[in-house]
Structure 1
Amino acid sequence: MRRVSVDLDRVLGRTSMYGVLLAVLTALAGWALLGSLVGALSQSASDLVASLGVCVGVSVGANCLVGAAVRAPSRHASSVSTGLLLFFLLWPSVSTRDVLAAALAALVATASKYLLVVRGRRLVNPAAFGALVVAALGIGAPVWWVATPWMLPAVAVGGALVLRRAGGWGVAGLVVVTALSGTVLRLVLAGAAPGQALSTALLSYPVVFLAVFMSTEPLTLPSRRWQRGVVAVLMGVLVCLTVTVTLGAHTLTTGPEAGIVVANLVAAVLAGRGAAGDLRVVEVLRPTPGIAEVVLAPRRPVPFLAGQYVELTVPTALDVRGNRRVFSLAGTPAQARGAEPRLRVAFRVPERPSAVKAALVAMPEGAVVRSEGIRGEFLLPGDPQVPLLLVAGGIGVTPFLAQLGDLRERGEERDVVLVHVVRGAADAACSRELAGPGVEVVTVVAGLPPSAGEVLAHCPDAARRCALVSGPPGFVAAVRGALGEVGVRHVVTDSFTGY
């Protein structure tokens, strides 16, 4: 079972997040068309096809026009995904009114990606905002027709793949539990039996769809786990509330899209300044032939915590996974807060690197890449008295470089054993940066993750320590199993998906 899980992560890791999302949403659209043909959905196939064409077509066209107007790189995968999401929210129809509503929603949603941005941070979910605007103008009413018994199994399976790739189980789970509880309570108070209320909430309300596809968008979420938890619970409460507002002759009844947008705005406040924006390449270092380190200069000091990662967009590179990649930050928080702030990312460069890695390594001084934000919860325990066991596989040592460097700079001594598993002696070059007060560094040259016996050989008191494991998915899974065998109960992991 563990092998299947690792293989799935490896397959998903070869595709960008947008690639997985597009594949799943496209499959859901195909499932909807099949449902229409077999009579499981009330919408006709022609209405579905027409609505899909309008939502996606206008999204892509508007993305080209608005992107060119503001001189921003066009992100066609993002625009197609926005169009697909709107397709499932708005009533599919060939009537003039419904076509105009879909076109306007797609236009507003796309424009919001470029215009509703503060310090590089997107303020609202584009699809939810586009749907809310057409509802507020009285042009159309988002009906979330995706919430049907026919669509639910496909949404659940496809959503599980998206969450597996994005790692958004916590947020989605909180939204589902909160929204489902609130919806069931509303139905019970209205006279429904509890069992019937639960069935109706699952089959006829878009709880699962919005939790998976609308609440987990990383560009609208704050970086810390507790902040995301607050936003998820708030969103779950808001999406199951219906508020009617009367302004003169116009009456607006809010739906789930309003709750999503409000929660997005709260998330923006919690996130604070964030760390999105342009980064200038200062230098590219090659500590070993197979490893590259890129030093980047942000426009202003950047707050982050040691162990977090940065998502970079490299505009000059594109492959099947897109031009975005996630890199653990190898530099310390103090280096990013100084008078001349610097961010450092390190990564393995294989003989045939991806287009993004090849472009980063070849970038001249002064070239610009874009940060989409800094996130992550792969952090050391707050209590300095907790003994630690850190296990890294190859370049998975990068977050530990930041964490142990941060301890040294702050003069904090901890009881740390770090086991660094490398392929060859040359890959152990960065181990020299890991030494410090209270830190025991063990470098293991091997092709396989350490077994339970090897863990005990390198760290006999492993069972009393809190463990952090970083590296490729297969390595992380194997080490976690070995740690469990020797009695380690608290293990935090950071899998380098797509490694």
Structure 2
Amino acid sequence: MIAVKSRLDTWLGRFTMYRLILWVLGILAAYSMILNVLGWLTFGLPQMLVHLMLCVGLTYASSRLLALVFRTRPHSESSLITGLLLYFLFWPSFAATDIAGVALACVLASVSKYALAFRGRHIFNPAAAGAFITGLTGLNIATWWAATPAMLWLLVPGVLAVLYRTRKMLMAAVFLVVATGIVFTELLGRGMTVGQALWQPLAQRPLLFFVGFMLTEPLTLPPRRWQQLGLAAVVGVVFAVPYNLGFVANSPELALLLGNLLAFFLGQRGRVELTFKGSRQLTPDSRELRFEPKRPVRFAAGQFMELNLPHRRSDGKGRRRVFSITSAPGAPEVTFGVGTAGPLSAAKKALLSLEPGDKVTATSVGGDFLLPRDPGRPVLLIAAGIGVTPFLSHLASESRPRDIVLLYLAESRDELAACGQLEASGARVIARLADGSTPPAFMHDAGTGRIDARRLGELVPDIPEREVYVSGSPASVDSLRAAARGAGARKVRVDSFAGY
């Protein structure tokens, strides 16, 4: 199972989140037209084709036009995703008012990224904002027709792929349990059977489409997992409980917008602007880059930041990348550890080619790879290669003594990063170097053998008393997590670098 999971992680890691969602939505759009030809949908193929071209074309065009007006670089994948979402939200039709309503929703979705924003960061999901405001005008109302039983054959695997890739399975489960439970109870009260009351919310209401492509959008989520789970529960209630306030009634788009507003107040409000100051070599295959933020950045040791890295020659891997922060919270500069071994994506090439004074922006800060609040709680940190980067922030931020053991796996002595910082931290450091080279004197040499459960138990006999943190590539993390579990670890947190 570990090998299968590693292969799946590696394959999905080749897609950025935006590219994966774009592919899944594109396939679903094609599938919907096949269903229409087969008679499972009754919109009419000409209506569906025109509707698709209107949604995608107008959203894309308005997004690029607004980018010119505001002198920013448009995010093409984002605008295409918004257009495809609107394709599934509004009913395909040739009626003049319906077409006008869809066109308005497309333009409003693009405008919302600039008009409903704070310090360069949009607050609301663009597709939901465009659909909701259009509904207030009376021109058209979102019907969320993707919630059709025939769509489930591809919708379910598509949603699962997206949720697995973005690591939002638990958040989605909380939303589905809350929303489905409320609707299920309501339908039972109306006289439906148990089977009907379960089938109807999942097959004929847009819960799956909503949670897979809209609720879990990273830019409109709070930074911590417990906050995301709480948000999922709140949105699930607002989504499922019927209400009518006169000018608005319950709808998926309104539930999402309320959730977006709540998330805005929980996270880093506004875009983070960073000025590049310089870099230093960590190892032959990694560098540490230093940035000065325009405003103080709120983060905790072990969290990540997503950088927006526009570049002219796209390689299809997107322009946003997640990097672990290596500096301590409150430091005047924010630093990142970046792997430089090839092949490099176009976005990473753009990052590594920065000159002092160049500016970049960060779109989000988040993550739950945090040490226990109780400094008396002993921990074991296991780093595979570049996976040491979040631990550098942990060690830099520890103001009170903590019992820390760091197991560092690297190819050679040259690939050990920040040895001076590791020695000064006071942590007990164990190095396993694959080429058999000798680690620095302050490190314990673990030899060249594979780190399995038995070997890990020998190196850290008190592992059952320690909280374990594992960081590295997906394959390394899966193997080392299994080893930690086998050695008796009760709690294992992971932070895998999946090529996001």
TM range (shorter): over 0.9
Matched, 1:307 2:306: no
1:430 corresponds to which of 418, 426, 429: 418
2:434 aligned residue: 446
1:331-373 Cα offsets, whole Å, 9 max, x none, are: 11021xxxxx211001110143222222222210011111001
The separation in 2 between residues aligned to 1:170 and 1:156, in whole angstroms, is 16
Partner of 2:335 in structure 1? 344
| Higher mean displacement: 181-190 or 14-23 | 181-190
CA contact (8 A) 1:276 1:374 kept: no
One-letter amino acid of the counterpart of residue 469, structure 1: V
Quote the residue 1:324 is aligned against: 320
Mapped contact 1:121–1:220 kept (Cα < 8 A): no
Distance in 1 (alpha carbons) for counterparts of 2:269 and 2:493? 24
Aligned to 1:278: 273
5 Å-filtered alignment, 1:28-427, equals 28-246=28-246, 252-271=248-267, 273-274=268-269, 276-316=271-311, 318-335=314-331, 341-407=332-398, 410=399, 412-427=400-415
Q: Deviations over 1:433-454 (max 9, x none)?
A: 1235651011211278622232
Contact (CA 8 Å) 2:273, 2:295: kept in 1 or not?
A: no
Question: What secondary structure sits across from 2:223 in the alignment?
Answer: coil
In structure 2, how many angstroms separate the alpha carbons of the residues matched to 1:187 and 1:100? 35
1:199 deviates by 1.3
CA distance in 1, matches of 2:333, 2:74: 27
In structure 2, C-alpha distance between the alignment counterparts of 1:449 and 1:112, rounded to whole Å: 52
Counterpart code for 1:261: L
Shift of 1:5: 1.3
**1:278-336: per-residue Cα shift (whole Å, max 9, x none)?**
2110112223321111101111111110000000011236322111100000111021x
Distance of aligned partners of 1:275 and 1:283 in 2 relative to their CA distance in 1, 3 Å threshold: farther
Using the alignment, how far apart are the partners of 2:89 and 2:20 within structure 1?
20
Counterpart in the other structure of 1:338 = none
CA distance in 2, matches of 1:185, 1:100: 38
Spell out, residue by residue over 1:440-476, the C-alpha distance to the aligned partner (whole angstroms, 9 max, x if none). 0112112786222321232122222110000000000
1:422 is displaced (CA, Å) by 0.6
In structure 1, the residue matched to 2:446 is none
* Worse-superposed segment, 64-73 or 346-355: 346-355
What letter matches 2:323 in structure 1?
F
Counterpart of 1:402 in structure 2: which amino acid? S
- Which amino acid counterpart does residue 303 of structure 1 have in structure 2? R
1:456–1:312 CA distance, 2 compared to 1 (3 A): same
Q: Which residue in the other structure is 1:464 paired with?
A: 465
Identical-residue share of aligned pairs (%): 36
What do residues 72-106 of structure 1 show as CA deviations (whole Å, max 9, x unaligned)? 11011000000101111111112222211111111
Query: Which amino acid in the other structure matches residue 258 of structure 1?
Result: L
Q: CA deviation at 1:223?
A: 0.5
Match of 2:443 in 1: none
**Which amino acid in structure 2 is aligned with residue 375 of structure 1?**
G
Moved over 4 A (4+): none
Deviates more, 1:220-229 or 1:350-359: 350-359
Indicate whether 1:496 and 2:497 are aligned: yes
Structure-2 residue corresponding to 1:6: 6
Normalising by the residue count of structure 1, what TM-score does the alignment of the two structures yield? 0.94
Alpha-carbon distance in structure 1 between the residues aligned to 2:253 and 2:263: 15
Give the Å deviation of 1:245.
Answer: 4.1
Q: Tell me how far apart the structure 2 counterparts of residues 446 and 5 of structure 1 sit (CA, whole Å).
A: 24
Q: Is 1:479 matched up with 2:480?
A: yes
**What letter is aligned with 2:488?**
G
SS in 2 for 1:130: helix
Distance 1:92 1:435 in 2: 64
Using the TM superposition, give the Cα deviation of residue 241 of structure 1 relative to its aligned residue in structure 2, in angstroms: 3.1
The answer to whether the 8 A contact 1:334-1:406 is kept is: no
Q: TM-score w.r.t. structure 2 length?
A: 0.94
**CA distance in 2 between partners of 1:429 and 1:469 (Å):** 17
- CA deviation profile, 1:392-414 (whole Å, cap 9, x unmatched): 0011000000001100xx2x111
CA distance in 2, matches of 1:330, 1:4: 31
Query: Following the alignment from structure 2 to structure 1, what is the Cα–Cα distance between the partners of residues 185 and 93?
Result: 33
Q: CA deviation at 1:176?
A: 1.0
Please say if residues 238 and 250 of structure 2, whose CA atoms lie closer than 8 Å, have aligned partners that are also in contact: no
What is the root-mean-square deviation in Å for CA atoms of aligned residues?
A: 1.7
- What is the letter of the counterpart of residue 233 of structure 1? A
Contact 1:391 1:419 in 2 (8 A): yes
Q: Which AA in structure 2 matches 1:441? A: V
Distance 2:241 2:123 in 1: 22
Residues 466/230 of structure 1: CA separation in 2 closer, same or farther (3 Å cut): same
SS for the counterpart of 1:334 is coil
On the 8 A contact 1:173/1:211 being kept in 2, the answer is no
Structure 2: 5+ residue stretches without partners:
436-448
> What letter corresponds to residue 293 of structure 1 in structure 2?
E
Residue by residue, what CA displacement relative to the aligned partner does 1:469-499 show, whole Å, maximum 9, x if unpaired?
0000000000011112111121000000028
Name the stretch that deviates more: 53-62 or 420-429: 420-429
Q: Deviations over 1:244-264 (max 9, x none)?
A: 3446xxxx5442111111111
Once the two structures are TM-superposed, the CA of residue 169 in structure 1 deviates from its matched residue by 1.4
What amino acid does structure 1 have at the position aligned with 2:420? R
- Where in structure 1 are there 5+ consecutive unaligned residues? 336-340
Shift of 1:67: 1.0
For the residue of structure 1 that corresponds to 2:215, the secondary structure is coil
- Checking the alignment, whether the CA contact within 8 Å between 1:314 and 1:323 is kept in structure 2 is yes
**SS of match in other structure, 2:257:** helix
